[in-house]
Homo-oligomer: A and B are copies of this chain.
């Protein structure tokens, strides 16, 4: 401490947003630290609560790291065990949606745990989202209007379908646009300002059957 002004050793931990870290280096450092932290948490959980826990992590580079008690393989096997798979026996078209809903509810049961976790993150995201405007708010407004008139049953189906849609969008945005065009006669309610893009990108398209993925939810969805 010779110099008069001693440089502060560190600013201490800084708050960061939960979004991809752009800096290659920082991302790598963070990966190492958090991976270790995750495994530690997993370990503590298994010990404190006598629970079996397995965690697998693939680094961006492709390396695989894992933690498992009793062993990853064993747990994964148990997890994949088809013994629990639900078999929607002959989707007896005769049944009414209601029974399906009931079945769904039963299946998801404790899925509520997930909502719990999501809630936490949602709050953070919500904040950052306030700044966003533009096309986003348009889509939202549109959805809000549409959803507003749906019945529970429809809402569940909608939610399920959204799950699938979202994934497709994130993965193949362009292709999605084309497919969507072909499949739907999107002549109807389309967020303003977005319709132009549809036509703009429309070219070819082979229709696909829409499949919905169930979202999640204790009793809805």
Contacts and interface: CB of A to CB of B under 8 A. Distances in A.
Interface string A176-187: 111111111110
A90 interface: yes
A221 B84 contact: no
Contact of A100 (B62, B168, B174, B203): B174
Contacts of A162: 139, 142-143, 146, 162, 165, 191
8 contacts: A36-B101, A43-B98, A67-B90, A122-B128, A124-B124, A138-B221, A143-B143, A167-B190
A102 to B, nearest CB: 8
Given A51-B60, A79-B64, A129-B217, A189 B168 contact: yes
A88 interface: yes
A19 to B, nearest CB: 5
Interface string A53-84: 11111111111111111111101101111011
Contacts of A54: 55-57
A121 B181 contact: no
B119 A128 contact: yes
